[in-house]
């Protein structure tokens, strides 16, 4: 559960770091949005170092959580409710994440 929470915080830092420049470029936001965006991306990079194992497997599993977090962002921040296809897609991604994280491993 701790790793899953860390995945969510990491995803939020990444999304915020990308969303703020988008607001500046596409929505006419202030150039000052780039400062918290850079800080958020730096936080994202630091958070990646806190994951238990910095391996391709962990980052692949993180991708599933990122997709779920991005859809929550779509709903809560952008005000667009995810469709049933979005929900099906994120469910498949989270099931895939669980298989990657908790599947049996051979010694070797």
H-helix or E-strand containing 31? none
18 closest CA partner among 62, 51, 59, 66: 66
91 closest CA partner among 61, 69, 64, 57: 64
101, 59 in Cβ contact below 8 A? Answer: no
Rounded to an integer, the average pLDDT of 83-105 is 90
47, 10 in Cβ contact below 8 A? Answer: yes
How confident is residue 18, by pLDDT bands cut at 50, 70 and 90? very high
Domain extents in the chain: 2-102
pLDDT per position as a tens digit, 24-59: 999 999 999 999 999 999 999 999 888 776 677 778
Entry pTM: 0.82
């Amino acid at each position: 559960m701790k790793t899953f929470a860390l995945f969510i915080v990491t995803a939020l830092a990444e999304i915020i770091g990308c969303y703020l420049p988008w607001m500046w470029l596409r929505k006419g936001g202030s150039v000052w949005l780039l400062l918290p965006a850079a800080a958020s991306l730096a936080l994202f990079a630091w958070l990646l170092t806190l994951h238990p194992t910095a391996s391709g497997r962990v980052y692949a599993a993180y991708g599933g959580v990122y997709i779920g977090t991005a859809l929550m962002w779509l709903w809560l921040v952008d005000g667009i409710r995810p469709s049933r296809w979005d929900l099906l897609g994120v469910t498949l991604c989270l099931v895939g994440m669980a298989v990657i994280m908790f599947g049996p491993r051979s010694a070797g």
